[in-house]
Each structure stands twice: as structure tokens, then as C-alpha cells.
A and B are shown apart, each in its own frame.
Chain A
Amino acid sequence: MKRAALLAGAGLLLLSGCYRVQKPAQAQPGAAAPVTRGDGKTLRVFIWSEYIDPDLVKVFEKANGVRVVLDTFESNEAMLAKLQGGGAQYDLAVPSNYVVQTMVRAGLLQPLDKSRLPNLKNIAPGFLNADYDPGNVYSVPYQYAATGLAYNRERYVPQDTWAEIFGADDRRSFVLLDDPREVIGAALKYLGFSANTTRVEELRAARDLLRRVVAKKGFQGFDGGPGTRNKLLAKTVDLGQIYVGDLLIATEEDENVQVLLPRQGTTISMDTLVVLKRSPNPALAHRFIDFILDAENGAQLSNYTYYATPNAAARPYLDDFLKDIPALNPPAAWLADGRLDFIGELPAGRPQRLYDRIWTELKSR
């Protein structure tokens, strides 16, 4: 008893004595901003995991004599919640296109100063001025992922059509993405509608189709990118709906896993770079964005993440094997003729409820 008490006491003393006192975060009353903020020496970035080449970060740190702090989030919703709570002093965030407007309305973003982004000209015109941010007032495209149909050619080689999954044939096993907008979106594309439709009759058609699809013998459930990738590597399913980048990274290990974009078209989502309104170092944030928009850096980013680059000037610097993958470089015509739909924000109210209801029903089958 006595010994335990002594131990605990010693432990407490040790901890209180040796515990590194953190940099005092308070300034003198009436003084300017405290040292931990806005000193132009630290850039804080809120980003998806495994989404930036650490070497690229080191280059930026060295070139500017700054420290870059990367924090990760696992979903747009989790990122929004943390930022809206106002607890974190980030400079930059990497939201998907369909939450940019939500962030604008929540007053989280500051307009970009284009004069500090000369490399913006490197972005392919098709990816600028998109519906989610007209005129790119708040965001620049970072990396994007189309959703494709993946397979292991040692097990099965499909045609380039969603009919492989949504058709009447029930000989193939398949996995769908665990994401309402992706699954309903793919069904809508197969039926020839927009993936962002708000027409009730179109959504009903998609619902009826999906009911039949999840009742198939071949349906192996919903899964995220990593899970589906592993099933294809292990050859336990024929087909998987997956983000192109999440599948391609597995080709390092097995060249037989491949991915294609169905000819009916598919959904894409663009991850974007935005500067937060309360960014302590907006100038440094702009410098970082311009650094990412550089042709060679943009290519290095894709060579690391296996996601597609919206940076036209980066093309020549991409690894050869990435250049040859059609799924990663959808024809420009696809963007123009509406075969590629950016997943957009749904108007609140009935449409949103319809999507929710369809999804709930599919998941609770």
C-alpha cells in the first residue's frame, strides 16, 4: 500500500517536473497577436490521409523556411464539424467539391487572391469555373477521382458498361461503394440520367433498379475503397465499384487489377484547396497552393497518390504507366458532353430526403 502510494507520488512529481512546458500561448494584454499564430512560420493543413507526397512537403518547408503541420480527417462531414466548431486554426483544407458551397455559406472560407496564384493557368480549362465554385472564387482543383469499375483480369474481364452490374445477368459477383451518392449516381448514369437529378420519377427508376441489383446472388455487399481493393487483389469478387485512385495504387503489387470507366459515364469528385477565413497565415497558404499548382509538383502529387491531376501542364511529368491509363485520364469530351458528373450538393428538402430514403432502404435490406 505504502509502496504504491510512493510510486504514484513519484510518478506525479516526475510528470509535473519533467513535463515539457508548452510554449506559452498567451500574449501580454493589449499586445499584438501571440507568437503561436500568424508568424508566417507554420502552415497548418487539414487533408485526407495519404493524400500528399511527404517529400513534396519537405521541399516546400525547405524552400520557405517553414514548418508544415498536416492533420488528417476521414470524411468531409468530420472535417466540416471540426471547422464549424471553430477549434482549429488551420490555414488550408482539402474539401471535396460538393461541400465547398456549404463551407462558403458557413462563412469558413476566404476568397482567393488570384494575383498570388500565377500557376492557376496550369489547370485544364475543363476543371475551372465549375458549378461548385463559379469563377473559382474560393477553391482551386487539387486532385480528382472518377468512380470506375474494377476487376482482376486473371479472374474476369468485363465490358466497359455499368450493365456488368446493373444488367439482368446474374453470373458475376460484385461489390458496391459504401456511399449513397456513388451508388445511386451510378444507377442514374446507367439509366441515362444525371447523377445529380432531382426528378422524382428518375430517382424512382434508380430505386427500382437498385432494389433488383442488391437482390442479386452476385451482390457481395457495400465496401469502401481499401476493402474492395483487397477483395480484387485476393480474387474473391469479379467486379468492384471503386475510386480509380484507390484501385490503381494496388497495381504496384499486382498488375492484373485494372479499372475502367463505363461508357454510360460516371461520377467524379474533385478535391479542392481552400483557404480558411481564420487562417493565421493566408499569404503562406497562397504560396502553398501555387506550389501545388506547379507543373512538376502536380505530377509528383499524382505519382504518389495515383489520383488524377486537373493540372494540364503536369501531364508530361506523370509516370509513364499513369499516362497510359484511360480511367485516370478521361477524354475531355466526356466532361463536355455530360458523361462525367461532378457529384453536386443536393438542394435541401425533398430531393435530399429521397436520396436518403433510397439509401436507407438498400442498406437495411
Chain B
Amino acid sequence: MMRRTHPALSAWAWLVYAFLYLPIIVLVVFSFNDSRFGATWAGFTTKWYGVLFARADVREALAHTLEIALISTLVSTVLGTLVGLGLWRYTLRFRTALTGLLVLPIVVPDVVMGVSLLMFYSFVRQGLERAGWTFDNGFWTVLLAHVTFQISYVALTVRSRLAGYGPELEEAARDLGASGWESFRRVVLPLAMPGVLAGALLAFTLSLDDFVVTYFTSGSGFSTLPVLIYTNVKRGVTPDINALSALLVLVTVVAIVAANALLRPRRDA
């Protein structure tokens, strides 16, 4: 028997949702506004979508953003999961210190992280230049920076997912004849999986909209969408950027709906 929610409570919930989603709806609506400045409604148009697709810099930034987000998510999910498992499984002498180090990238302000990574890269470059080698900041430096902050998030979500289980889990598996690898594959990993996926999603989202760290570590000629959009605030964001945001929202919604449809448990007929 379901309890009916109190009308005041559901009204409040609706308000909260409106507060969250109205700005996005306004943004989508204004991507069809026939005005360059978007102060007032000047009629319906789809021209901004045309303008958007004609822009090479946006296409390039979009490609960079997705490349970085996908690859950094894969790398950080694997590494972060291993860290999370290790912290859960072993009693290490410096566990507290290690956990502290993991939390650090989460609490350190982005600016500090961005600038310190930039200086670190400079330092490494100077060392390499003496040896006759060099590199430019760009794809690899941004990738490394993103993985750096993503690992923490993944490791912590995996660890907290496993927090309730003790080592007896694995011991039981071993008693039943599983090898070390099998007990990991069949027992530990499936249990940790929701944490792994949540961590991966979190990592992906963080990478997708990171501005500060990317701005500092990207060198020249490697812009991602957040960098491109954010640096436009000085003279005003053009409506084709609204169009782009609308498309990103659309893609996200489609992805979520598709994921739900695929993951829905099938009823056996």
C-alpha cells in the first residue's frame, strides 16, 4: 500500500524541478530565437544550427572534448577501481595518509590544481629540453590532468561501495574452490560494479565540463568546449552556442532514455 505524498511536499518537489530545469528549457527555446543577442524574442529560426555546423573551431573543440572525456574516463576508471579495491582489501600502514591524498584533488581548488600542473609540466619540459627532447602542452597534458583528478572520485566511490563487506567474502569464495582471479571476477567485481559505473559516469561528467584545469594545461591550439564557451563571456555568448548546448542536452536525454530501456530487467514470458 503506497502512501500518498502530502500535497505541499509534491508542490515543493515540482518547484525544485522547475528551478533545475527551467534554465535549460529557456536555453533550448532561445537557440531558435532570431536575434543575435537574445534579449527579446524576435521570431523562430533554425539558422543558429546552420551557423554552428559551419564553425570549424566548435567542431574541433567538440572532438577534443569527447576524445579527452572518453579516454580519460577509461583510464581513470581502471586505475581508480584498482586503488579503491586496494584500499578496501589491504590493511596498509599508511592507509589514512593514502586516503587523505586521494581526497586532496577533490578539495583542492581547481585553480590551484591547474596552475600547479602547468608549472609541473614546464619544469619537466625544461628538464627534457636539456636532453634535446621536448613536448608541447596539448592533448596528452590535458588527458593526464583529467585522469589525475578523476582517479580520486572513482577510487572513493568504489571503496564506499565495498565498505560494508569484509575479507570473509573472498575467503568464502576461496573455500568454495575459486582461484584468486575467479573470486575477484565472480564475487568482488560484480559487487563493486555499481560503484565502478557510478565512478566512471562521474569521471566522464567531470571531464566533460572541466574548464579551469583544462584551460591551464591545454597549451595552445587545443581548446575544449568549456574553454571555448567560457572564454566567450567577455563579449557575450553567441546563440550558436545555445544551439550547441541544446544538442548536448538532447544527446544526454536520448542516452539516458536508451540506457533505461536497455537496462530494464526483461520479464520472462
Task: Mark A residues whose CB is within 8 Å of B.
Answer: 1, 8, 11-12, 15, 19, 22, 25-31, 34, 36-37, 44, 46, 48-51, 69-75, 78, 81-82, 85-90, 224-226, 229-231, 233-234, 246, 249-250, 252-253
Contacts and interface: CB of A to CB of B under 8 A. Distances in A.
9 contacts: A15-B74, A19-B67, A37-B136, A70-B57, A72-B223, A72-B231, A73-B231, A74-B233, A81-B216
B39 A85 contact: no
Contact of B232 (A46, A49, A230): A49
Contacts of B40: 233-234
Given A25-B135, A37-B134, 11 more contacts: A22-B138, A28-B132, A31-B132, A49-B233, A72-B232, A74-B234, A85-B118, A87-B216, A89-B220, A225-B235, A226-B37
B235 A87 contact: no
A336 to B, nearest CB: 30
A225 B38 CA distance: 14
Given A81-B115, A86-B122, A230 B37 contact: yes
Contacts of B139: 22
B8 interface: no
A25 B136 CA distance: 7
A57 to B, nearest CB: 11
Interface in B1-47: 35-40, 42
B122 A85 contact: yes
A29 B219 CA distance: 23
Nearest to A90: B220
A118 B219 CA distance: 32
B230 A74 contact: yes
B188 interface: no
A229 B190 contact: no
A256 to B, nearest CB: 12
A72 B228 CA distance: 7
B128 to A, nearest CB: 8
A265 to B, nearest CB: 24
Nearest to B236: A226
Nearest to A72: B231
A246 B115 contact: no
Contacts of B216: 81-82, 85, 87
Contact of A26 (B74, B118, B135): B135
Interface of B: 35-40, 42, 57, 67, 70-71, 74, 115, 118-119, 121-122, 128, 131-141, 190, 193, 215-221, 223, 227-228, 230-238
B3 to A, nearest CB: 36
Contacts of B121: 87
Contact of A87 (B37, B118, B128, B231): B118
Q: Is the interface of B mostly helix, strand, loop or mixed?
A: loop
A339 B35 CA distance: 36
3 nearest CB pairs, A to B: A226-B236, A85-B118, A233-B39
Contacts of B238: 50
B39 A230 contact: yes
Contacts of B217: 87
Nearest to A30: B132
A89 B136 contact: yes
A50 B36 CA distance: 13
Nearest to B121: A87
A234 B219 contact: no
Given A26-B133, A27-B133, A252-B36, A75 B115 contact: no
Nearest to B231: A72
B220 A27 contact: no
A69 B215 CA distance: 15
A75 B111 CA distance: 14
A85 B119 contact: yes
B132 A225 contact: no
A29 B133 contact: yes
Contact of A50 (B128, B227, B232): B232
A89 B138 CA distance: 11
B237 A226 contact: yes
A301 to B, nearest CB: 14
A276 B139 CA distance: 23
Nearest to A83: B118
A340 to B, nearest CB: 22
Nearest to A232: B39
A11 B74 contact: yes
Contacts of A12: 74
A207 B118 CA distance: 39
A27 B70 CA distance: 29
A234 B134 CA distance: 53
B36 A48 contact: no
B20 to A, nearest CB: 22
Nearest to B197: A4
Contact of A229 (B128, B232, B236): B236
A243 B235 CA distance: 10
